[in-house]
């Protein structure tokens, strides 16, 4: 009997540690057990991540100190101006105006300031409003392995919160007009930034916040991180499945997005949908009575709510589901 128990345990260990049998698919994933997962890189490509890779301590030495902050406005919509934390002259020599709303974008793993989420959301924001867009480039840590990026996330988020606090105190701005957005690990970082800044941002939009090493992590996203926290789940195989926002949206059940052939596409669909809603505000969710209803696309509540968009004063609470198309504008 003892031999049988050991054999079963070995089989479970091997199966949880083995490479995924289906390329670019996370249906095998079990939280806390699986070794490998597929994540989207900065250009929507699938990247196989080894969760057991050790933390690279030297990569953590600077973490948030290596952040860069790229300013885009309508006067420099395609060419960033670098604002250096603590250097007031870098603000005075830029197009930043404290009277404009502030939109902060945080990319995810294996990405940088030039990655698609930044250009897509920056273009959307500047098309519909005269705003300051701050793209956070944390490429050095994001280009490391998953465990290292996760362990450095608090420092990266703290640095972002400190930067926005300094920016507003130095050159003006209104925290009621501040909106943080992040994808994947970047969604977790955006929430940390909101939590550790000297004021809470009015809105946080968390796009498919990733869950490996975050499921029971005290630093994971929670609804108190901003005045209104909205989570958009598009690949709940590795998204932060506990309901963590004031509102959690599950487009198409939160998985297997229409028009997508792999998990990376479904993960990235979160910011494609968000960019579309900033421009058109046309995707509307229906209230769900449970998480299971949301994931099984059977929401029947009476309350309707627009998903995403850029309305800074937006408020609501609950779980919402909706279906979308498979191509832009969805």
Cα–Cα distances (Å) from 236 to 19, 56, 175, 207, 316, in that order, read 20, 28, 31, 11, 22
First to last CA, the chain: 55
What does pLDDT average to over the chain?
93
Spans of all domains in the chain: 2-322
Classify residue 99 by its DSSP letter.
Answer: T
**pLDDT of 3:** 41
Does residue 305 carry a pLDDT above 50? yes
Query: Cα(178)–Cα(197) distance, rounded to whole angstroms?
Result: 12
Query: Cα(257)–Cα(44) distance, rounded to whole angstroms?
Result: 13
- What percent of the chain has a predicted confidence (pLDDT) above 90? 86
Token pair of 248 as six digits: 């959690």
**pLDDT of 131:** 98
Q: Tell me the average pLDDT across 9-32.
A: 68
Q: What are 154-208's pLDDT values in tens digits?
A: 999 999 999 999 999 999 999 999 999 999 999 999 999 999 999 999 999 999 9
Q: How many CA atoms lie within 13 A of 271 on its CB side?
A: 32
CATH number of 2-322: 3.40.50.1820
Q: What are 232-289's pLDDT values in tens digits?
A: 999 988 876 678 999 999 999 999 999 999 999 999 999 999 999 999 999 999 999 9
Does residue 5 carry a pLDDT above 50? no
Does residue 71 carry a pLDDT above 70? yes
Phi, psi (5° rounding) for residue 267?
-60, -50
Query: Cα(226)–Cα(193) distance, rounded to whole angstroms?
Result: 10
Q: Tell me the average pLDDT across 28-43.
A: 91
Q: Name the 3-class secondary structure at 318.
A: strand
Q: Do 185 and 108 touch, CB atoms closer than 8 A?
A: yes
Q: What is the pTM of this model?
A: 0.93
């Amino acid at each position: 009997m003892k031999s049988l128990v050991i054999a079963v345990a070995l089989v479970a260990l091997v199966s949880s540690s083995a490479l995924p049998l289906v390329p670019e698919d996370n249906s095998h994933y079990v939280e806390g057990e699986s070794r490998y997962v597929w994540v989207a890189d900065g250009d929507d490509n699938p990247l196989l991540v080894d969760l057991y890779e050790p933390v690279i301590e030297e990569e953590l030495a600077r973490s948030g100190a290596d952040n860069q902050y790229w300013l885009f406005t309508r006067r420099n919509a395609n060419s960033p101006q670098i604002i250096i934390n603590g250097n007031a002259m870098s603000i005075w020599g830029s197009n930043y105006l404290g009277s404009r709303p502030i939109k902060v974008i945080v990319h995810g793993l294996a990405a940088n300031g030039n990655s698609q989420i930044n250009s897509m959301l920056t273009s959307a924001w500047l098309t519909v409003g005269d705003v300051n867009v701050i793209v956070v480039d944390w490429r050095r840590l994001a280009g490391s392995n998953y465990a290292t990026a996760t362990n450095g996330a608090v420092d990266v988020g703290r640095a972002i919160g400190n930067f926005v606090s300094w920016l507003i105190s130095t050159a003006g701005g209104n925290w009621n007009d501040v909106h943080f957005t992040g994808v994947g690990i970047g969604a977790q970082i955006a929430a940390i930034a909101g939590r550790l800044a000297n004021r809470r941002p009015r809105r946080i939009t968390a796009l498919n916040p990733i869950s490996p090493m975050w499921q029971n992590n005290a630093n994971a996203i929670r609804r108190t991180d901003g005045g209104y926290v909205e989570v958009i789940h598009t690949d709940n195989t590795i998204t932060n499945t506990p309901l963590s926002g004031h509102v959690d949206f599950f487009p198409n059940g939160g998985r297997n997005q229409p028009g997508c052939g792999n998990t990376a596409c479904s993960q990235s669909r979160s910011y494609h949908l968000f960019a579309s809603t900033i421009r058109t505000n046309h995707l509307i969710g229906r209230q769900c009575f449970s998480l299971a209803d949301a994931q099984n696309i059977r929401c029947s509540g009476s309350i309707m709510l627009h998903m995403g968009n850029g309305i800074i004063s937006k408020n609501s609470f609950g779980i919402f589901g909706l279906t979308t198309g498979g191509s832009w504008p969805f």
